[in-house]
Amino acid sequence: MPTLRTLLSIPVSLALLLTPAASGDTSTAAASEAVLPLLVADGGAPAAALLVQDADGRVRYAAAGRGIGRADRFRAGSVTKTLVATVVLQLAAEHRLSLSDTVERHLPGLLRGRGVDGRRITLRALLTHTSGLADFTEVTRGTVPVTPLQAVRIALALPPRPAGRPGSPGRPGRPSYSNTNYVVLGLVVRQVTGRSYAEEAERRIIAPLGLTGTSFPGSRRSLPSPHGRAYAADGSDVTELDPRVAGAAGELVTTLADLDRFYAALLGGRLLPPHWLREMLDTRAAHGLYGMGLFPVKLPCGTTVWGHNGRISGSYVRSAATADGRRVLTFRVNTDAIADPRLEPALLAAEFCPRTR
């Protein structure tokens, strides 16, 4: 799964937008769809696909390579964090918890280790990756299934991240992306509601929005149909995967259309009251780099898009949307990563930056 630096510090190459396939067309459709094949040709992916929902409700689909389909179910990795954060903020809006609550208040004794004290780490710090908790996937490498408590124990055995004093009241820490933060939030959701984060996301988000291709598979290794194949960086087939390698930090299975619909609804104000949506988009605690389950990217034309990406063995996906949710793009490849890091920001700029001759 991605580090914060990988997520947020990718260089933008405008030259990629001036490929012969794209330079002669003024439409964002032609531009973004011209970049897509480069994810296969230069990015090393067996196949790639994108789905765009624009401000007028029109939908565009494009694909490159073989073995990928519009309706495919795929693993979405850390996009899971946006759903978990939404559930936590809904609970805050219902006054069932406060973002200033410490982890200790809800999960007594859970976070005690060298340099880590749950009495000083708030839910806000977990949501914004400013807790200082180490990332359990540094040990498991996203391939070993673990329970949430095992994931926490692994993290506590590692040195805490350099976030100053983790969770110091009133002091924002340096952001340090850690999957452990969202595993702990999953445990908080269960403690507060009596139901798992997956059950809460199903009844609060998935069912109301009609996300029929989206699910939390638990320990089920197979993907629902229809689906293509998923390949690791070394080319091995990893379509079968135990989702407990990620849990609340990256378990989600979904589709391109469902992610577009989810981000449009979230940023369009359908899932959170205005105050709590503003909280979600507030990046001050993480020095402008991360909100709560969302992060902003400012494109060369000055437009800022919001969303998340997800990397898990055999799958990389990225959703990005305008701040009002009226234009949303989701693209995916059926492997772990894109070899050329310039391609993702190039594709986003091609879609969201207006172009003229």
Residue with tokens 């506590």: 156
The answer to whether the bond into 274 is cis (omega within 30° of 0) is: no
Q: Does the structure show a pLDDT above 90 at 45?
A: yes
Tens-place pLDDT, residues 294-315: 999 999 999 999 999 999 999 9
Residue 129 has pLDDT above 50, yes or no: yes
pLDDT at residue number 184: 98
Q: Which CATH class is domain 80-193?
A: alpha beta
- State pLDDT tens for residues 203-223: 999 999 999 999 999 999 999
What angle, rounded to 10 degrees, do the helices at 80-93 and 256-267 form? 30
SS3 call for 75 = strand
Is residue 22 very low, low, confident or very high in pLDDT (cuts 50, 70, 90)?
Answer: very low
Give the chain's mean pLDDT: 90
Q: Is residue 7 over pLDDT 80?
A: no
Q: Which amino acid is at 30?
A: A
How many other CB atoms sit within 10 Å of the CB of residue 136?
26
Amino acid making up residue 26: T
Over 90: is that where the pLDDT of 355 sits? Answer: no
Q: How far apart are the first and last CA of the chain?
A: 39
- Cα separation, 34 vs 27, whole angstroms: 11
Q: What is the pLDDT of residues 267-296, one digit of tens each?
A: 999 999 999 999 999 999 999 999 999 999
What are the tokens at 102? 């410490």
pLDDT beyond 90 at 79? yes
CA 184/CA 161 separation, integer angstroms: 16
pLDDT single digits (tens) 87-100: 999 999 999 999 99
Domains of the chain, by residue range, sit at 80-193
Across the range 141-156, mean pLDDT stands at: 97
If you average pLDDT over residues 137-152, what whole number do you get?
A: 97
For residue 347, the tally of other CB atoms under 10 A from its CB is 28
Q: Can you name the residues that pair with 312 across neighbouring β-strands?
A: 315
Give tens-digit pLDDT for 156-194.
999 998 754 433 433 446 689 999 999 999 999 999 999
What lies within 8 Å, CB to CB, of 81 at 6+ separation is 182, 249, 250, 293, 308
Tell me the C-alpha distance between 47 and 161, whole Å: 36
pLDDT category, 57, cuts 50, 70, 90?
confident
The whole-angstrom separation of Cα 129 and Cα 181 is: 7
Print burial letters for 6-38: b (CB count within 10 Å at least 16), e (below 16): ebbebebbeebbeeeebeeeeebbebbbbbbbb
Q: Comparing 140 with 170, which gets the higher pLDDT? A: 140
Contact 70, 61 (CB under 8 A): yes
Catalytically annotated residues: 78
Residues 6+ apart with CB under 8 A from 125: 131, 132, 166, 167, 173, 181, 285
The alpha-carbon radius of gyration of the chain (Å, integer) is 19
Res 251 pLDDT > 90: yes
